């Protein structure tokens, strides 16, 4: 997500608190928020899939391999 979209999310938030949003602006805000949340989830999922855990016996388990890499979820 580029900085312009993040700036727009913040502008719409401030406007909603100050004077309210039109129906078109509320839809735009919801769409931008949905896109932002999906990006955050995707990044977090990617990080979690790359975590390795060292077991007491010295072996290493990759959580992404152990619990399944779910790129689409």
Q: Which of 12, 41, 39, 10 is nearest to 28 (CA)?
A: 12
Q: How many domains does the chain have?
A: 1
In a domain, 60, yes or no: yes
In a domain, 21, yes or no: yes
Q: What is the pTM of this model?
A: 0.70
- pLDDT tens figures, 13-62: 999 999 999 999 999 999 999 999 999 999 988 888 888 999 999 999 88
In a domain, 73, yes or no: no
- Whether residue 63 is predicted with pLDDT greater than 90 in this model: the reply is no
CATH for 34: 1.20.58
**Domain enclosing residue 18, as ranges:** 3-67
Where residue 71 falls among pLDDT bands split at 50, 70, 90? low
In a domain, 72, yes or no: no
How far is the C-alpha of 71 from the C-alpha of 73, rounded, in Å? 6
Is pLDDT larger for residue 39 or for residue 63? Answer: 39
């Amino acid at each position: 997500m580029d900085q312009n979209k993040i700036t727009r999310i913040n502008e719409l938030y401030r406007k909603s608190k100050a004077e309210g949003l039109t129906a078109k602006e509320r839809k735009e805000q919801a769409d931008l928020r949905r896109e932002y949340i999906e990006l955050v989830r995707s990044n977090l999922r990617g990080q979690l899939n790359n975590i390795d855990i060292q077991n007491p016996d010295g072996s290493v388990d990759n959580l992404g391999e152990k619990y399944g890499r779910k790129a689409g979820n």
